[in-house]
Structure 1
Amino acid sequence: MSYPNIPDINSFDGLDREQVALLLLASIALEELSLAHIMNAEAEKLQYALGTLLPGQTPIVGDFEDLLTINRSVERMLRTVIKKEMLLQFKLEDVIDSGLLENNVPGD
C-alpha cells in the first residue's frame, strides 16, 4: 500500500466553517486509511503464517495451537479496528450534525 499524502497545515487562522468541516472530514478519511493499512498488515500476517504470502514460502505454523494463537492475535486487532470504526462513525455524524457544512447553525 502507498503512503498517504498529508497536507501541510501550518495555521488554522482565517479558516471558515466549511473549511474546518472539510479538515475534519479529511482527518476521518486519513484515520480510515490507517485502519485499512492495519487490516492489510493483519491479512499479510495470516498469509505469512500459512505460507501463502510469497511464492515457494513454507508455513511457519508448527501446529494447530500456533495457528490458533496467530488467529487470536488477528482477532484482537480487528476488534480494536472495529471499535475505532465506531468512533469514526460518531465523529462523522457529529460533523454532519454540527451544521459546519451548511450556511446555517445547528438547530435551525
Structure 2
Amino acid sequence: MVDSFITIKRFFDNKHYPHGFSRHGDFTIKEAQILERYGYAFNELHSEKRAPITEDERLFLQVCKGLRKPQTEAEIVWLKYIKRIKRPKRFHTLSGGNAQMETTEDFDSYD
C-alpha cells in the first residue's frame, strides 16, 4: 500500500461518526486510523470519482463492486465502514403506529 491510496485529505464522516471513528466503538484504533488516513481515497475509488492507478487500487475496486472477497486490511475495513453506514435506522413514533425504517446511503462532504 506504499504508492496506493495516496491522498492529502483526511477522511471524516460527520454525519455517521460526528465524534470520530475511534470514539464510536464500531472500529478498533487501528481501523479508525486506516479510515482517517486512506478513507478519502477509498471513498473516491468506491464512488468512481477517481480511477485506480495501482494494482492494489484495482483490486480494491473489484472488492467494492462485489467481484472479489476482501483480503487486505484496507478492503476489510472499508467494507465494514460501508456496512455500518448502510444499516437501517429506526424511527419511533408517539402515535402508537409501527416504527419506520430508513437506510442511510448518501455521503456527506468529507473535506
**Would you call these one fold, judging by a TM-score over 0.5?**
no
Larger Rg: 1
Bigger strand fraction: 2
The bucket for the TM-score relative to the shorter chain is: under 0.3
Bigger helix fraction: 1
Q: TM-score, normalised by structure 2?
A: 0.27
